[in-house]
Amino acid sequence: MATSSPTRFVIFPAILFLIVLIPLYLSPINRNQNILPHLLPTHSNLSETTHQTLQTSSSPSLLPKNDSADGVPSTSTDGARATNEIRKRFREKMSHVERIEEGLARARAAIRRAIRTRNYTSEKDEAFIPRGDVYRNPYAFHQSHIEMEKRFKIWAYREGDQPLMHDGPSNDIYAIEGQFMDEIESGKSHFLARHPDEANAFYIPMSLARIVHFIYEPPHYYGKWIPRLVTDYINFVADKYPYWNRSKGADHFLVSCHDWAPDVSALKPDLYKHFIRALCNANTSERFHPIRDISIPEINIPRGKLGPPHLDQPPNKRPILAFFAGGAHGYVRSVLFKYWKEKDDEVQVFERLPRNRNYSKSMGDSKFCLCPSGYEVASPRIVEAIAAGCVPMIICDHYSLPFSDVLDWSKFSIYITSDKIPEIKKILKAVPTETYLEMQKRVKQVQRHFAINRPAKPYDMLHMILHSVWLRRLNVRLPS
């Protein structure tokens, strides 16, 4: 068993990880739920959002406890043997649901212990140890990821046919749909359950980008067809299997980067009340709930590659203060172009990049990369900026940033709303050199979390999405 040495204490903010600090073993799903606004993330535009979570219970585990609160065996050999024998007999009588919930209770206890001791416990050597200010609580995140690797199992429903199910785009702007789907359904992921009774969570393997591509033509784009298809599929698997009904969908999730993905729950909001939506379009003004739902990065994957190029230009070789090039999509960019399009040598903004300029090189030559939202809140430029080692300046209204459960974006990016666009240069010039150098260093630190690997690797983008699902699964207890 590997154990790290303690590092300095980091104050733990009141965000989703608080779910593992309060009495976390939750009561059976029911319609009478408490509202816990103090669990909301603290970043911009989320304070007014409310989310209904499941009522807490005082029971931390289904099994007899060991001497320590975190489930580590007693130091007494005879006592440990006796306890383990009791646990073994008790476990043999447990149902599948009880075994799953007992494992999740142990995971919560291990995370609590990591927070308390500012340390971690693992059965193997850890190749990467998250530390530093970029993490809201690195100890909780690290132990949670360890527990996810050990315990998390996903069942991907097999019903349905390609191309609408079990297939998704693996390139271009919606690529995360297909990359995630293929990673889970390829049969190579150790997170894939062998049987649905073993699963902690259930994946709805539908690609909304494929549905739009193969089925819809104007004027049907803004109709109710997408939510009807998704609802019909869920009703089908709910009638065929017990899993949706026992949790009311609280352990089920869908991953989509299409702009219209938030509309899947529009027809029957009560059916989707607990359903986990992993979305690029994470707009809190359009029914995105950051405790239940998941914000995932938008990434534009060129054919034959897995993402934008990683650039290592040092800070002293980045002569451009700020850079952006892109189409005039949406209100935010129209305001950006009004004030800055080809009007300043330091804040370089283009709708069409001059032919003698290279897009990736320009990002690599810039200290800050402007990341304005387009038609929707998400933008692939955030991932491109991070890959280029460029500090993102995110320009958006109502955006719940990806992986905010564990990442503190204020440490490696600047976030402004659209009304601050005229002040961009003033804001960036006011950043002290020492602060910029620290932020740029942290951008390099978080690059691994925004990179796609196939097969996926611990702490990369696909694992970060899985970890976001895992966190929400920790907030649910199924009835036994």
What are 398-448's pLDDT values in tens digits? 999 999 999 999 999 999 999 999 999 999 999 999 999 999 999 999 999
**Cβ–Cβ < 8 Å for 377, 287:** no
Work out the mean pLDDT of the chain and round it to a whole number: 83
More confident call, 129 vs 56: 129
Pick the CATH number of 315-450 from 3.40.50.2000, 3.40.50.720, 3.30.930.10, 3.90.180.10: 3.40.50.2000
Whether pLDDT at 12 is above 50: no
Whether pLDDT at 90 is above 90: no
Q: Calculate the dihedral angle through the C-alpha atoms of 249, 254, 258, 263, rounding to the nearest 10 degrees.
A: -10
- Residue 402, both tokens: 């990806």
* Averaged pLDDT for residues 171-182: 93
List all residues 6 or more positions away from 355 whose beta carbon is below 8 Å from its beta carbon: none
More confident call, 460 vs 75: 460
**Cβ–Cβ < 8 Å for 252, 202:** yes
**Cβ–Cβ < 8 Å for 244, 252:** yes
**pLDDT for the residue 440:** 97
Digit-coded pLDDT (tens) for 97-128? 999 999 999 999 999 999 999 999 998 899 99
Whether pLDDT at 45 is above 50: no
Longest CA–CA separation in the chain, Å: 78
- Residue 90, both tokens: 């008790």
More confident call, 312 vs 13: 312
**pLDDT for the residue 210:** 87
For the chain, give the percent of residues with pLDDT over 90. Answer: 65
More confident call, 251 vs 27: 251
pTM given for the model: 0.83
Q: Which of 303-312, 331-340, 380-389, 439-448 has the lowest mean pLDDT?
A: 303-312
Whether pLDDT at 53 is above 50: no
Whether pLDDT at 384 is above 90: yes
Digit-coded pLDDT (tens) for 314-328? 999 999 999 999 999
Per DSSP, the residues of 435-462 read HHHHHHHHHHHHGGGG---SS--TTSHH
Q: Where exactly does CATH 3.40.50.2000 map onto the chain?
A: 315-450
Whether pLDDT at 65 is above 80: no
Whether pLDDT at 143 is above 90: yes
pLDDT bin (cut points 50, 70, 90) of residue 83 is low
Give 227: exposed, middle or buried? Use CB within 10 Å, 0-12, 13-18, 19+.
buried
